[in-house]
Amino acid sequence: MKLPENLSQKLENYKQSNSFQKLPVFNNPVDFASDDYIGFSKSEIIFKHVHAYLVENEIFQNGATGSRLISGNHSLYQIAENFIADFHEVEAALIVNSDYDASVGFFEALTQDNDVVLYDELCHAIIKDGIEIAKAKSFKFVHNDTEDLEQFILRFPNANIYIVTESVFSLDGDTPNLEELILLSEKHNCYLIVDESCALGVFGEKGEGLIQYLKLHNSVFARIISFGKGLGCYGSVILGSAELKEYLVNFSENLIQNTALSPHSVATILTAYQQLKIENEAIDKLRQNIVFFNQQKNLLGLKPMFVHSKSAIHSAIVPGGENIKQLTEELQDKGFDVQSIIWPVVPEGQERLRLCIHSYNTEEEISSILKLFLDFLFY
């Protein structure tokens, strides 16, 4: 059966505007696209430890399904959440099924009719979806612009105001002035919420994230972290006070209604965190590769093309849907897995090539992809 006519036309419009995308086919290309910054998704150590942990503790026998408020809250949840809370130096951690569930469940439960949510315009689409579903009024402020943000705050002197940003933006890898955001939130009694998904495994002595690295964790109302990036596994966590956790357990429909993660999934999360706590080599190698990437980019005269970033994510602005499509295809033909960001994710004329640096990339791979990028632009 065919699609309805309006949906077929919508699809055709995407094809005509160079916005159409296909699911990628992987033939072992050089990875500059995935968010698996330190290679945990392919870690044999984690795989073996998860299996051994489940067998040793006979946790596989306690695999009843259901929401966490019924039969799904197996004992491993408490062990994992206590470990994560200690790792992130926070009162409580609440594991949820996915980054989408974390965003929707958090904002839907927390915000009320008279509340206001102010979010950075470049927050991830999942964060925006959660805010849109919420009861509160919401407004986006100019990217990393605290003056614009404060103008919004002053419009709502009697409301509970939630400020939402990312410590490392998933689009371009840049960071806000977190110290200034904290001062602003304290000045106006706002609640600061920071998504740390792209900072986990990258910043901090043990990869604990940018907030802790800057020692700002006690000044943030809540942190939301997806495990699908630095940890290379499924699920997310909300970090905050014990009271916040109690509130979400009682009022978050996503937690109340969803089937809980399996013991195997929670064991994978716990094992990945345990490995992160002792994993020095991969984190150090990632940081070396980030420095090398920035050095090579500058030596080749490409710095003006790229958004400033000291994270694992680097974006080069290549205006024009046809241009970015051609560049992406050429790099893929040369064996590099890369990702282009096109309209409607970004405005027309702001198309970009998004590169993710990993601990397992070699300096030769980094040099090669940057030289190919240079060749495309100037030859």
Estimate to the nearest angstrom the gap between the alpha carbon of 75 and the chain centroid. 27
Structure tokens at 306: 């790229």
Mean pLDDT computed over every residue of the chain: 91
pLDDT of 322 reads: 86
Cα 332–335–340 angle (5° rounding)? 30
pLDDT of 379 reads: 67
Tell me which residue of 208, 237, 238 sits closest to 222, measured CA to CA: 238
CA separation for the pair 263, 260 (Å, rounded) = 9
Tell me which residue of 135, 111, 131, 109 sits closest to 121, measured CA to CA: 131
Over the stretch 58-101, which tens digit does the pLDDT of each residue have? 665 555 577 887 777 888 999 999 999 999 999 999 999 999 99
The CATH number of 62-278 is: 3.40.640.10
Mean pLDDT of 183-198: 97
Which residues does residue 166 pair with via DSSP β-bridges, in sequence order? 195
pLDDT of 60 reads: 58
> What DSSP designation does 260 have?
P
Over the stretch 117-137, which tens digit does the pLDDT of each residue have? 999 999 999 999 999 988 899
Tell me which residue of 359, 308, 356, 351 sits closest to 336, measured CA to CA: 356
pLDDT of 378 reads: 77
Over the stretch 235-263, which tens digit does the pLDDT of each residue have? 999 999 999 999 999 999 888 888 889 88
- How sure is the predictor about 13, in pLDDT bands with cuts at 50, 70 and 90? confident
pLDDT of 56 reads: 77
Tell me which residue of 68, 169, 92 sits closest to 126, measured CA to CA: 169
Q: H helices within 155-193, ranges in order?
A: 178-187
Where are the chain's structural domains? 29-41+280-378, 62-278
The least confident of 39-43, 202-206, 342-346 is 342-346
Mean pLDDT of 167-179: 96
CA separation for the pair 346, 78 (Å, rounded) = 40
pLDDT of 210 reads: 97
Mean pLDDT of 187-213: 96
Pairing state of beta strands 222-226 and 236-240? antiparallel
- How sure is the predictor about 35, in pLDDT bands with cuts at 50, 70 and 90? very high
Domain 29-41+280-378 and domain 62-278 have a common topology: no
The CATH-assigned architecture of domain 29-41+280-378 is Alpha-Beta Complex (3.90)
Q: H helices within 114-262, ranges in order?
A: 125-133, 146-154, 178-187, 210-213, 242-251, 253-257
pLDDT of 94 reads: 97
